[in-house]
Chain A
Amino acid sequence: MTQNVFTLEISGLNVSSHSGTRVLDNISLQVEPGEVRALVGESGAGKSMIGRAVLGTLPPILDKSSGHIILNGKDLSLLSERKRREWVAHNAALIPQDPLSALNPVRRVGAQIITPLVRIHSWSKREAEDRCLSLLDQVKIRDPKRVLKSYPHELSGGMRQRILIAAAFANRPPLIVADEPTTALDVTVQKEILKIVRLLQEDTGTAVLFVTHDMGVVAQVSQTLTVLFGGRVLEDSKTHDVFTRDASHPYTQALIRSTPDYHSAGGKFVPVPDNVIATLHAQMRERLS
């Protein structure tokens, strides 16, 4: 037994659609306890699919065809469907991408975030409510008691995302998957939300798999990052190293350069160069043939 027990260990994960298109190709990555790992890549690179594979919410047309996902010491592929759901519910939580569709519109907010604590973690109703109130306070929601009695449409997008973040951290799960939690929000709210995620993460010591396409966000929240392209891992390194030294992969270098930065690029946007993309596509074709 190694000394280092990972919170999440993915090895050789393949996911393909029913028609045979490979969405994830031999993905391997680890997340240590308390680590924030960013998953970056352009749309379609498969970054969200890794999170969904871990949580068991892949769209029905996709199938996990092979590989292992070990969450907090248990290999999910060895568990029965019911056992897997229970294990995931106990050991992981999700911060969804779109706060506007992530709360059930016909149910009160309180019922949506308190009931799971009572049901999954067998807390008492009182205990769950107290925990939610203090968390809502921590994510800077004013008058949390009123908010618990509200319906989602009565709250703003930023408020809803803060509620969802509080709900994800509520039972201090070992792992949280944050699926582009700031993409649907405007820039000023984004910053606030990132601050809250970092604060709660440090407070609870939860490991986070942070899916994003924004290298600026990566620099702000993560210690490590995994760069994906076409369903494959291109690079896996420490965030600090990638931003201070030259990244090892030309695609990662290009991604960093493409991050809009008013001061260094003179206000110009530098896209990922075509030849880098072309090389990657050529490599993919070679692999497939």
Chain B
Amino acid sequence: MIIRSFLARFFSTLVTLFGVAVVVFVLVRIAPGNPIAMMLPPGATEEDVARLRALYGFDKTLIEQFFVWLGNVIYGDFGTSITMRLPVSELVLQRLPATLELSIMALVIALVLGGSLAVFGARFRGRAQEVGVDISTGAALSVPDFLWGLLLILAFGVAWPVLHISGRVDPHMDVDLTTNFYFFEGLLLGDFALVSSVLSHMLMPALALGLPLAAMIAQLLKQSLKEQLDQDYVNLARVRGHGETHVILSEALRNAALPTLTLIGVQFAFLIGGTVIVERLFAYEGLGNMAIDAVINRDLPLIQGIVLLFAVLFIAINLTVDLTYSLLNPKLRHD
């Protein structure tokens, strides 16, 4: 049973990835712009252009190109970046930790902030405090992530300059780590100078990405909490002497979290998409920033590699959400 559902999942994942690969491959080639022309100095001969085209395989038909590329991808070869002259897999894996750290930090901010606001609003439902939560989450939602980025730069970068507005780490700092997970590896090694430098760079972009999601979580979770708080099992807990805060946290929260979890899964995927623009805004050396450069330079192999990696991330997030869901909801567990 478990093996069968795992296999079904695995094959549907492969189909999804193949679809993504086809779409990306075709799209970046239909889009106007010629990467070869950008690489050659002015005055290059027709012959030079043809040689370079042959080198990158652009002289073959689209279908041929696709299967050559796909064949290489299966063996872990994503091609060579046209602009950076380095293997795409190396470039992408080097940037991935930065984006993952940023997204996870944003998610943690959204969960903590949104969760507490939801519990607070549900605890004081029908009173001024709940109205306060509604107004602040409504405001946070109506501001998109990049605008949050600009507002945060104005507040903590200009008016009260306590945080760094660009980069991932202090450029003077000697970073000597085995992985590119500066924050997590720094934490593990107990290098607090590094961790605090990374945090002071990461906090603003993470907030910009996390605030709208926090508002969404707060609104949905508060609503589901309020529905749960009218249920008889909650009343029974009250009769057994539990105070309202305890009733919310230990009885209602796990039930209310289920619909919110679905939302978090979908929105976290959007959040990773949001890193593209927010990383650009804060000159943060992640995948998103690299994606923009790749698109501007028509670096086809790099674009394909990044998009495929984003697709893998989306699928991994969905899988995690489904697993967590069945962990929280006994109705979905099979023996």
Contact = CB atoms under 8 A, between A and B. Distances in A.
B136 interface: no
Given A57-B235, A97-B232, A101-B231, A85 B243 contact: yes
A153 interface: yes
Contacts of A103: 233
Contacts of A86: 241
B239 A94 contact: yes
B212 to A, nearest CB: 29
Given A104-B255, A106-B328, A120-B241, A60 B235 contact: no
Q: How large is the interface on A (under 10, 10 to 19, 20 to 34, 35 or more residues)?
A: 20 to 34
A218 B238 CA distance: 27
Contact of A105 (B230, B238, B240, B330): B330
A96 B231 CA distance: 10
B68 interface: no
B241 A102 contact: no
A183 to B, nearest CB: 12
Interface string B115-143: 00000000001100000000000000000
Nearest to A150: B330
Given A106-B328, A153-B331, A55 B239 contact: yes
Task: Name, among A55, A104, A153, the residue most crowded by chain B CB atoms within 10 Å (CB to CB).
Answer: A104
Contacts of B232: 96-98, 101-102
A116 B240 contact: yes
Interface residues of B, number: 21
A88 B240 CA distance: 8
B201 to A, nearest CB: 40
A60 B243 CA distance: 14
A82 B236 CA distance: 16
B64 to A, nearest CB: 55
B241 A85 contact: yes
Contacts of A105: 233, 255, 329-331
Nearest to A52: B235
Given A104-B233, A105-B255, A106-B254, A57 B239 contact: yes
B236 to A, nearest CB: 6
Interface in B220-253: 230-233, 235-236, 238-243, 251
Contacts of A153: 330-331
Given A96-B236, A106-B329, A60 B126 contact: yes
Contacts of B233: 101-105, 112
A92 B235 CA distance: 13
A94 B234 CA distance: 12
B225 to A, nearest CB: 13
Interface of B: 125-126, 230-233, 235-236, 238-243, 251, 254-255, 328-331
Given A85-B243, A102-B231, A151-B330, 13 more contacts: A55-B238, A56-B238, A82-B243, A85-B241, A102-B233, A104-B233, A104-B255, A105-B331, A106-B254, A106-B329, A106-B330, A119-B240, A153-B330
Interface of A: 52, 55-57, 59-61, 82, 85-86, 88-90, 92-94, 96-98, 101-106, 112, 116, 119-120, 151, 153, 164
